[in-house]
Amino acid sequence: MSTGFSAEKPRRRPLITEGEEDGRARPLREKLAWFVALWLAGLVATAALAYGLRALLFAG
């Protein structure tokens, strides 16, 4: 039974824990820098939202 699609399997996406395509993993310092940057961005966004809602609540 033909479905009209190629029988070739799609390429598997590499796992997040695997290295880059050239076989080298990113340095730990770079990974930690991304983690800290995303953590700080989340912290700032949460604080801005909290202070914004507080300002709206006590504006009247």
Please give the full DSSP string across the chain, using - where no structure is assigned: ---SS--PPPPPPPPTTS--TTSPPPPHHHHHHHHHHHHHHHHHHHHHHHHHHHHHHT--
Domain range holding 41? 26-60
Confidence of residue 39 (pLDDT cuts 50, 70, 90): very high
Residue 46 in domain:
yes
Query: What is residue 24's predicted lDDT score, i.e. its pLDDT?
Result: 76
User: Which structure tokens are listed for 3?
Assistant: 């479905």
Total number of domains in the chain: 1
* pLDDT grade for 6, boundaries at 50, 70 and 90: low
Whether 21 is covered by a domain: the verdict is no
The verdict on residue 49 lying in a domain is yes
Looking at every residue in the chain, the average pLDDT score rounds to 83
- Please say whether the beta carbons of 20 and 26 come within 8 A: yes
The verdict on residue 56 lying in a domain is: yes
37 in a structural domain: yes
